[in-house]
Amino acid sequence: MTYPTAKFLAAVALLGGGLSLVSAALAESPAATAAANVCAGCHGADGNSVATTFPKLAGQQNKYLLRELMDYKSGKRVSEIMAPLVADLSESDLAELAAYYAKQKPAPGVAGASALMKAGKNLYLKGNSKTDVPSCDGCHEENGNGDGKFPRVAGQHVDYVLDQFRLYAAGKRTNGARVMQAVAERMSEQEARAVAEYMASMP
């Protein structure tokens, strides 16, 4: 596994990825090297990405991370960005990467537009029975930390989350449990934004 590190890093540097964060301490295994050299440019060295369309991976559920990485590799989860990046990584590399990010400390969430926060919290904890949107706390836990195959949503970037809601609702993210397609389809745009803001604010 050889990454043309210099070119790649130069490219991602344009994205404003915090390359200075890439610490030598990570270079202990092939996966850690990949994390430092390739993934860090977009997801941050410790998985706390800065750019808001790149998901935060720090503290994410290990089981969930591995499944998503395997699905990018097999094409079940479609992403033209992620697919080539994991194409040549083995399952054990991916397992190491998943374990690495799961262990990182998530940066605390940031409180967003306060006007939507109340509505977002309400949807997260109560759902909307008029449109059969179940509350989110059952599967993602009240604190947003998730559990196993249910991903952590606390502190996640609003832009990334809204992208995912759009993909779910359009039937373009179908690798996981179909539940999220129904959830995304049933939420109004206003609700989607409000709940995304609320999740982003969770510590």
The residues that touch other proteins, with contacts defined as CB under 8 A, are 1-4, 7-8, 11-12, 14-15, 38, 53, 80-81, 84-85, 87-89, 127, 129-130, 132, 134-139, 163, 166-167, 169-172, 174, 177-179, 181-182
Residues 78 and 167: their CA atoms lie apart, in Å, by: 10
Residue 112 binds ligand HEC, judged by CB under 6 A: no
Binding segment for ligand HEC (CB under 6 A), chosen from 21-29, 31-39, 108-116, is 31-39
Q: Which does 154 bind (CB under 5 to 8 A by kind): other proteins, ligand HEC, none?
A: none
Cβ proximity of 199 and 191 under 8 Å: no
Number of other residues whose CB lies within 10 A of the CB of residue 97:
25
**Phi, psi torsion values for 3, nearest 5 degrees:** -100, 135
Closest to ligand HEC by CB, 22 vs 85, is: 85
List residues bridging with 147 in a β-sheet.
Answer: 150
CB of 54 to ligand HEC, least distance (A): 5
Residues in contact with 163: Cβ distance below 8 Å, sequence separation at least 6, in sequence order: 53
Structure tokens that stand for 57 in this block: 């991976």
Among 48, 145, 150, 194, binds ligand HEC (CB under 6 A): 150
